[in-house]
Amino acid sequence: MSNPGMRSKDRVTYPKARRIRFSFGEPQPMSKYYAGGDMVFSHFIAGLSAAFPPGEESFIRSVVRVAGQVGDPQLKRRATGFTAQEATHGREHRKLNAKLLALGYPVGWIDSPAVQDRAKQLEQLMPAHLHLAATAAAEHYTTVLAVRVLTKPEIQAIAVDPEVRNLLNWHALEEVEHKSVAFDVYRAVGGGETMRILTMAGLLALTVPLTAGGLAAALALDEYARRHPLLVARQARTLFTGPIFQGIGRELARYLRPGFHPDDHDTTELLARWQRELFGDDGQLVDHLR
């Protein structure tokens, strides 16, 4: 039995990108509202998926900017695994995003060259420590969402296209596998508590307007959604009061506590279970590995 007082980071693991491929709309075509016919939930997932490739490429750049300052060989190896996993996430989400774009979702602009060029210019104006602090804070967001996906049966039971569910479960697993890497790199290169906490406070302040505003804008461009405002309102209420968002503010705000570390929440058993379920001998995604 593991020592309950030992942080999971004390048992060093090295994230490793899996050689994996997903196919969307094959052999059965994806329906427009692939999340069980729920317009709002389908648009919510589409927005997340659209943001992942450019966001994760920014995360990679933030770690690469300071890689030469990392002296610990274990942390260097963990950082290499982190960047490899994030690159694979971006590749597979771009495949889903192409399918979503073909279905009529307004997601193409998020990953457009013009938007990405502006993002890179902004990054270069930011101090490297601030860029990395933003990555560490964003990784806390993705970890909180990932743990919810992997622990809440209500979320697993939501009727989503099977291959989209496979992608989300794989992505969630790997987000938990590397949850503390960016944070540890930030600390290793001299990142301080004040910048870390203030950066998360800024992200928290932007969460509601960006999430609600982006979702509302996408739905406003959807002709069927415009014709059924009451249905959209009911589905939006279900999304924001359901298992994805209920109580999430408290979990995100834990990051603001002085001395916080991502491995304070030990996810060792959760990882072991999902590694078996997805990639064990009879794992759900073994046939997706190349």
Residue % of the chain over a pLDDT of 70: 96
Query: Residue 188 has which token pair?
Result: 């290793």
Does residue 121 carry a pLDDT above 70?
yes
Does residue 232 carry a pLDDT above 70?
yes
Helix axes 39-66, 113-125, angle to 10 degrees: 40
Cα distances (angstroms) measured from residue 243 to each of 34, 158, 162, 274 = 19, 10, 19, 19
Does residue 10 carry a pLDDT above 80?
no
Read off the pLDDT band of 200 (50, 70, 90): very high
CA distance 273 to 229: 41
What mean pLDDT do residues 91-107 have?
96
What mean pLDDT do residues 25-29 have?
83
What mean pLDDT do residues 134-150 have?
97
Which of 111, 53, 63 shows the shortest CA–CA distance to 86? 53
pLDDT of residue 6: 40
| 250-270 pLDDT, tens digit each | 999 999 999 999 999 999 999
CA distance 119 to 126: 11
Angle 236-211-111 from CA coordinates, rounded to 5°: 120
CA dihedral 66, 69, 72, 74 (to 10 degrees): 20
Does residue 25 carry a pLDDT above 90?
no
CA count, 13 A, side-chain hemisphere, 244: 16
Read off the pLDDT band of 1 (50, 70, 90): very low
CA distance 74 to 71: 9
Whether this model's pTM surpasses 0.75: yes
Does residue 5 carry a pLDDT above 50?
no
Helix axes 229-241, 39-66, angle to 10 degrees: 50
What mean pLDDT do residues 86-106 have?
97
Distance in Å from the first CA to the final CA of the chain: 34
pLDDT of residue 281: 94
Does residue 2 carry a pLDDT above 70?
no
**Which of 13-17, 37-41, 45-49, 281-285 has the lowest average pLDDT?**
13-17
pLDDT of residue 134: 98
pLDDT of residue 3: 37
pLDDT of residue 11: 56
Which of 30, 288, 287 shows the shortest CA–CA distance to 159? 30
CA distance 80 to 106: 33
| 170-185 pLDDT, tens digit each | 999 999 999 999 999 9
Read off the pLDDT band of 28 (50, 70, 90): confident
Q: 59 burial class (0-12, 13-18, 19+ CB within 10 angstroms)?
A: buried
Read off the pLDDT band of 13 (50, 70, 90): confident
pLDDT of residue 158: 85
What mean pLDDT do residues 73-80 have?
96
183 within 8 A of 38, measured Cβ to Cβ: no
User: Token match 């774009």: residue?
Assistant: 101
Across all residues in the chain, what is the average pLDDT?
A: 93
